[in-house]
Amino acid sequence: MPAGVAVPIEAIATLRRRLAALPARHPERKPLMASTAELYGVSRATLYRLLRGERRPKDAHRADRGRSRIMPAAEIERWCEIVAAMKVRTTNNKGRHLSTARILQLLVDTWERFCAFAREPERRAVGIDCRMAVAGILYEVDAELAGETVVVWWGLFDQQLWVEQDEQRWGPYHPVGGPIPLHRYRKHRKSRREARAGQVSALAAQLRLPRSALSGEDDVVVVGAPGSPVPVRPFVDPDPFHELTFPTALAARHAIADELRLPLAKLGDEDRAFIDRLLAETLSRPAIIAAVRERFPAGRRGGIG
């Protein structure tokens, strides 16, 4: 047989079976190996290497080996969680609980009845995006229910949702999003128009334009003909809030009493005469306050001694 031809797996299996029937030091083992190697055009070393198991037939397996064909993996995990929860719930002070077989038996006999239990119906408003949140989970309903108030029906042990409006039932609906984690908030996703408007606003805030760009001139624009007089309009009352002068002498006396922290009736005749002369001369607030502070120093009790 020409060199380079692989030894069939069937020939290797037959050779291994014939060698297994002979003792380890039987004289027929060597001629058997030599004849087989010559038949397939390989060396004895290659034949021994193939006998060690490198060309052994592999076991055939299904494509779904290791995966359940009875129910999906998610459903199996859900049942495992229920069994574990029931073991925790039935554990006594000695650490004993129901066995797995007993729990499965209970689930098969009473589970169908528990699944038929439903929560108390609730009234919920459907958003304009046809979505509503129930227990922190978003559900998307039919477009006909957008903006409507519906009655929500859902079971104790499932996540499917039914809604009812005007004696017509809709569903079931499945969750479209999980609950938002604590201290996390979903950012509003801007549309293309909103993103473009934000870019324009940010660019406008960075721009700096000179006055000439707005006026169309190279320098400051002077309104009016050259040499024309600027119209002047005097104020009707230059001191409308009486910050510079007192409106009356009585108001000035009140200010002097506040400054001295003492009624003017308790002043001496000479001090009262000084105040009368001062108010007869002027009602200017700065001048009166300065004259009072000069005559009644702050070191004197209540402004006077």
pLDDT, tens only, 217-263: 555 444 445 556 767 766 666 666 667 888 899 999 999 999 888 88
Adjacency order of strands within the sheet including 168-173: 122-125, 149-153, 161-165, 168-173
User: Strand 137-140 vs strand 149-153: parallel, antiparallel, or unpaired?
Assistant: unpaired
pLDDT score recorded for residue 277: 92
pLDDT of residue 49 exceeding 50: yes
Q: H/E element holding 260?
A: helix 249-260
What is the per-residue pLDDT across 100-158, written as a single tens digit (0 to 9) for each? 888 888 777 666 555 555 556 778 888 888 888 777 778 888 888 888 888 887 666 56
Residue 289 has pLDDT above 80, yes or no: yes
Per-residue confidence (pLDDT) for residue 213, from 0 to 100: 47
Local confidence band at 280 (pLDDT 50, 70, 90 cut-offs): very high
Could you give the percent of the chain with pLDDT greater than 90?
8
Higher pLDDT, 18 or 81: 18
Whole-number Å distance between alpha carbons of 66 and 45: 38
Task: Name the least confident of 28-37, 71-80, 172-181, 214-223.
Answer: 214-223
Q: Is the peptide bond before 172 cis (omega within 30 degrees of 0)?
A: yes
* Distance of alpha carbon 19 from alpha carbon 57, whole angstroms: 18
Token readout for 272 is 């009262």
| Measured distance CA(119)–CA(101) in Å, rounded | 29
